Structure 1
Amino acid sequence: MPRETLTPRERVLKAINHQEPDRVPIDISAVDEVMDALIDYYGITVNDEEVKIYMGADGRVFERKRNKAQLLLLERLHVDFRWAWAPYIGPELKAYPDGSRDGLFGIRRGGLFFGYALEHPLKDAQSVKDIEAYPWEEYANVDHYDYEQFVQECKDFHEAGYAVYGGPWAPIAFWAMDLMGMDNFMIAMYDKPEVAATLVEKIADFYYRQAEIMFQKGEGFIDIFFMGDDYGIQNGLMMNRKLWKKFFAPHLERLWKLAKSYGLKVQLHSCGSVRDLIPDFIEMGLDVLDPIQVRARGMVPEELKKEYGNQLAFHGSMDTQETLPFGSREDVKNEVLHRLKTMAPGGGFIISPSQHLLTEIPLENIVTMYETAYEYGFYSLIHKMR
């Protein structure tokens, strides 16, 4: 097997800059239950794990109990990226007898994994005054996070040579729909555009202020601003392009300009069919698109590579809808090899799951994906395969 010649950061940045590094960079996204299963699979043990309280992108407050073990797992899987997080240190949030609890923006959430909104606090909002009267500073306060911990993680990962993700996840549309209710928000974009616009602006302003703090404090130690939202569904956009450009594009663009003012690459997550927005993403300065939901309309990886591969890098594409949960180990291996042969040449490709790895995916398929990606992901081998 060929040997690595670059640090993870060098490898990732070369790939994003459309150059061929020593091998294709590798990343992971998985729920904690899958991470725990992989930790046990590889026999990783750590003593005296420190428990920290985090608030996830979905607003859940959760305990991270196996952080050190997860970091060792990332090494074992040859993952080139590390996330730096700012733990939640704000007031204790209300918990309910059914196990649900209040989270970001004052939304009560429940359910498995990322959960879902059990209540929509702004469902009855009819005016701009209704939006402005909501207690934003109480439920979404930039001072409720431990930025010193964030900076320390940035420094530690940077010094270890990894590509560092830093900044808020900033799912602006996600929160607008959860605060008002998806149907109410969609209707408001037409019937009460000033109300919808004010709601989106309030959410975006919170994330912009948080991004300013994180980029400033972590300056020199962050490589990529990775934010996410979902604008697509299986067969097309969740809203038409005109509405997306009116309500969301300006806020993404100002976040991306802020990130680039600190020298960061910008990576956007959006599930579903977002092909119709890719020209806008490129014009706005996006560097990397994630996760490439390959079974959504128009999201065929090799087609995207051919059409946009000189302007945009791609992150993800390992199918979590069919191949990983329902395929054989051979199916998984073949999909990895196909991605390497069709997406990796010329750089601009990072291999990772197309969505979070959930517990329904057989562990052996996950292991096969990562072992194959590393074993065959060296460019000297990829060129021979082609």
Structure 2
Amino acid sequence: MMNSRQRVNMALNHQEPDRIPFDPGGTVLTSIHVNAYRNLRRYLGLPEKEVEVMDVFQQIAVVDEDVRQKLGCDCRNVAPRSSATFKIVVDEDSMPGYRFFYDEWGIGWRMPKDGGFYYDMFHHPFANSTSIDDIKNFPWPDPVDPVRFANLKESARHVAEDLGEPVILGGLAAGFVELAAWTRGFARFYPDLVTNLDWMTYLMDTIIDLKLAYWEVALPLVGDYADVVQEADDLAGQFGLLINPETYRKIIKPRHKKIMDFIKARTNAKIFFHSCGAIREIIPDMIEIGIDIINPVQVSAVGMESAALKRDFGKDITFWGGLVDTQGVFTT
């Protein structure tokens, strides 16, 4: 009988494993909200326990070993730590009705104390910036702080050798498009792509340099234990792309290619790319620049019918997901 690592790698190489690999909570991009997770534990007849949070922003749960065993989870995340100079500190008192914090990138996040499910952004550090000097002088996170990589190699070895599971290696942060939008604010990010392009591309390229510096250390450190490397950028909404295809291909795609080329020059691991929404129009572009895996496959979005995606792109790319029905499931 094959183990989880063999099973996942066969599927990623477009071979037929003994069964379809299953990932109910193996990574921060494929896990479950803490409220739903508590309900899942009750449904499975497992004892109540304090739920560990994997991602504070989205309130994503760490899936415990008893649930993993019960469901047969094949995947496991190996992620870097925060830098030595940063720790999330949630303020419960200073903003009436909310709990809030600032992340490592200076972005402010808040969640209603009553009825809140996740944190929304309320502060964008470059919202009022007019100069490239603001970007140059910003206190950026240190992507190569040794604390980030503490125990990373041993964790990867343990997952691969002792557990027989694939190593899904996490990145430094969200995608460069997302981080540019989050630090600038959406209301200014999209116009900047047209009217303030020099400033915006300088911001994007600064973020990319930080991401590449992280991969420069992480990939050789983990070495052949890495089976999958995670990157992301949400590029679409329910009905289509958030950026028109011409702008994507002129500004975004070459920068994504730079990241993918950098990663592929340093590892044989497959590149997992998370991008929500109706991305069908640019799936050929993603294949062209070296993306191996698309997640989450939001089947409720326009053009994202799973059978058609498999028919048209299945020989060139792996679909990791395919059950994301945001409007049908999340509202129940």
- Whether TM-score is above 0.5 comes out as yes
Corresponding position: 1:291 with 2:293: no
Deviations along 1:20-45, one digit per CA (max 9) or x if unpaired, are: 11111111221233334333443446
Measure how far apart 1:83 and its partner are: 0.3
More helix by share: 1
Aligned counterpart for 1:23 among listed residues 3, 19, 29: 19
One-letter amino acid of the structure 1 residue matched with residue 272 of structure 2? Q
- Closer/same/farther in 2, CA of residues 120 and 144 from structure 1, 3 Å limit: farther
Separation of aligned partners in 1, 2:221 and 2:58: 23
Work out whether residues 23 and 74 of structure 2, in 8 Å CA contact, stay in contact via their aligned partners in 1. yes
Query: For residues 34 and 144 of structure 1, what CA distance do their matches in structure 2 show?
Result: 35
Shift of 1:128: 1.8
Q: Does 1:313 align with 2:318?
A: yes
The residue number in structure 1 matching 2:204 is: 200
Counterpart among 30, 36, 39 of residue 37 in structure 1: 39
Give the whole-Å Cα distance in 2 for the aligned partners of 1:93 and 1:166. 22
- Please give the secondary structure, in 2, of the residue aligned with 1:14: helix
Q: Which amino acid aligns with 2:282?
A: L
Provide the aligned length of Structure 1 versus Structure 2: 313
Q: 1:184 and 1:50, CA in 2 relative to 1: closer, same or farther beyond 3 A?
A: closer
Structure 2 unaligned spans of 5+: 25-30
Is 2:13 aligned against 1:8? no
Residue 72 and residue 206 in structure 1: after superposition, are their counterparts in 2 closer, same or farther (change >3 A)?
farther
Please say if 1:232 is aligned against 2:226.
no
- Secondary structure (helix, strand or coil) at the match of 1:134 reads coil
Whether 1:120 aligns to 2:124 is yes
Deviation of 1:61 after TM superposition, in Å, equals: 11
Percent identity over the alignment is 25
2:52 is aligned with 1:72: no
SS at match of 1:219: helix
Deviation at 1:321, TM superposition (A): 2.4
Residue aligned with 1:100, SS: strand
Q: 1:162 aligns with which of 161, 165, 180?
A: 165
Per the alignment, residue 109 of structure 1 pairs with 109
Within 5 Å, give how 1:260-271 maps onto structure 2: 260=264, 261-271=266-276
For residue 177 of structure 1, what is the aligned residue in structure 2? 181
Picking from 82, 86, 91, the partner of 1:91 is 86
Deviation digits for residues 298-350 of structure 1 (CA, Å, limit 9, x no counterpart): 1111111111111111111113325545xxxxxxxxxxxxxxxxxxxxxxxxx
Shift of 1:219: 1.0
Deviation at 1:255, TM superposition (A): 2.4
Question: After the TM superposition, which of the residue ranges 291-300 and 32-41 deviates more from structure 2?
Answer: 32-41
Distance in 1 separating the partners of 2:229 and 2:257 = 13
Instruction: Check whether the contact 1:155–1:221 (CA below 8 A) recurs between aligned residues.
Output: yes
* Equivalent position amino acid for 2:128 in 1: D
Any idea what SS the aligned residue of 2:284 has? helix
Q: Deviations over 1:239-267 (max 9, x none)?
A: 01222233322332232223323111011
1:217-236, CA deviations, whole angstroms, 9 ceiling, x for partnerless residues? Answer: 11121100122220001111
Instruction: State the alpha-carbon separation in 1 of the partners of residues 324 and 224 from structure 2.
Output: 34
Task: Report the TM-score when normalising by structure 2.
Answer: 0.85
- From the superposition, tell whether residues 45 and 149 of structure 1 become closer, same or farther in structure 2 (CA, over 3 Å): farther
**CA shift in 2, pair 1:84/1:126, >3 Å:** same
Aligned-pair Cα RMSD in Å = 2.7
